[in-house]
Amino acid sequence: MKKVRGSKTNKRIITRVPDEMSTVKHDGHVLRSGKKVVDRSQIGKTSACGAKAEKKPNQFTGHTFKNEKERFRLDGHKLIYHLDRVKDWLEGKRIAPIHIDMGLTKFCNMGCIYCIGVTQGMQRGEMIKGDVLLRFIDDCGRLGVRSIGFIGDGEPTLNPALYDVVMKAKDLGIDIGIATNGLLLDMDRAHDMLRSLTFIRFNLSAAGHESFKKIHKCSISKFDMLIGKIKGLVKIKRENNYCCTIGIQMVLIPENFDQVMKLAALGAEMGVDYLQIKQCSDSEYKELGINHEDYKRVLGDLKKAEGFSREGYMIKAKWNKINILNETDIYRQGFRKYDICYGTPFLGQISGDGKVYPCGPFFGKERFYIDNIHEESYYDIVKGDRYWKVHQDIIDNVDVHYDCTVGCRQDYINKFLWDLKNPPEHINFV
Ligand code: SF4
């Protein structure tokens, strides 16, 4: 019987039970295979005359490294690394979010045709004021928020306070990541950004002039400018050994299926750390018209693109989301494998106008509106009753199978928390 495994050196290692092994009697008890049983007591023994030991079957050959360590875990969650807060929550304490996703503005200088932000209400010129943001960062430090992503809603670089806020957060020990279309990125602040950010991720879902115009609704010249900025940032990062991760995110829709391989090549050429390819999230009202069946046409290219990953450049499709394709219709329509959303206190979401909600898909829904950081300090909001009343409303009344958008941001941690809250019997038999 052969068991073939990969190895660290990519040499194939074969573990097998050789036919010449000593065997033991087994009192007439015949196995279904009819095979003899290996005498395990002889394994590894040197013979009396000092001859070479009998060949050892099933010997441990060391770690195979077939499952490589995931560098970023882009397609999953990291709540298991914050068990202190999970424990506090289980004990009924009013915890601070570990992470917050927030918009800094409610408008954008691009017009991507897949933008979920549009369904959450864009408003030209609307943004969170600089002094409010600086106070917010202070509050996050006091509360023990561990990271903030300036992700979602409007474009963060349209808020002039962005750079100072990032630097202040870094001083307070809060990790910051931003997702940007990059067009307005101030290259004079490149060093500040690369020194202070954990990651910067560019929203780029097209690899050429025409497709850029079609997908992002932006002029062709802007494509060259963006590529120039990304390359410039990579150069500065390398020259100065900055740790900031530079990535690209492609939002996959049928209109850009033909761009997958081209973008994989472009990412390598630009020298970014990763390309993440993400299925397009639709709203609970399916306003973006996503049909999961369409993704079947691109699976081959996604696999092929991932194969171009190499040291220092990772290409990763978010299979957990894409694989919804293989689910039954009920799951494709939004039914979930848990019944209650417990994730919102761990992962907060704030709109680009400063309004605090338990989650992004509920932006604009008055029932779930908690407060506005322009009017109340975030510290007091999180400590206040209204905040916890709304989270309880989610637990008690939201039907995650019907009221929620498919695969929302908290989906990964919700599965984990559901298991935690609903243990099976005999848990000590680990
Ligand atoms: S499961 Fe529903 S309530 Fe919970 S975060 Fe997702 S969309 Fe919001």
Three-state SS sequence of 374-424: CCCCHHHHHHCHHHHHHHHHHHHHCCCCCCCCCCCCCHHHHHHHHHHHCCC
Per-residue pLDDT for 392 more than 50?
yes
Band of pLDDT at residue 12, cut at 50, 70 and 90: low
Q: How remote is the CA of residue 423 from the centroid of ligand 1, in Å?
A: 22
404 lines ligand 1 (CB under 6 A): yes
In this structure, which residue's CA is closest to atom 7 in ligand 1?
Answer: 404
Contact (Cβ atoms closer than 8 angstroms) between residue 244 and residue 193: yes
Per-residue pLDDT for 82 more than 50?
yes
> What is the DSSP code (8-state) at residue 310?
B
Report the pLDDT value the prediction gives residue 356, as an integer from 0 to 100: 98
Non-local (6+) Cβ contacts of 313 within 8 A are 267, 268, 271, 272, 273, 274, 275
What is the value of pTM for the model shown? 0.86
Band of pLDDT at residue 28, cut at 50, 70 and 90: confident
**Mean pLDDT in residue range 353-359:** 96
410 lines ligand 1 (CB under 6 A): yes
Per-residue pLDDT for 355 more than 80?
yes
Mean pLDDT is lowest, of 74-83, 115-124, 206-215, 216-225, for 115-124
Mean pLDDT is lowest, of 19-33, 174-188, 200-214, for 19-33
Report the pLDDT value the prediction gives residue 6, as an integer from 0 to 100: 44
Residue 298 in 3-state DSSP?
A: helix
- Distance, in Å, from the CA atom of 413 to the CA atom of 94, rounded to the nearest integer, reads 18
Contact (Cβ atoms closer than 8 angstroms) between residue 378 and residue 140: yes
- Distance, in Å, from the CA atom of 300 to the CA atom of 322, rounded to the nearest integer, reads 13
Non-local (6+) Cβ contacts of 325 within 8 A are 292, 293, 295, 296, 332
Question: Which of 339, 344, 356 best tests ligand 1's pocket when mutated (most atoms within 8 Å of CB)?
Answer: 344
**Mean pLDDT in residue range 59-76:** 72
Q: How remote is the CA of residue 270 from the centroid of ligand 1, in Å?
A: 36
Per-residue pLDDT for 375 more than 90?
yes
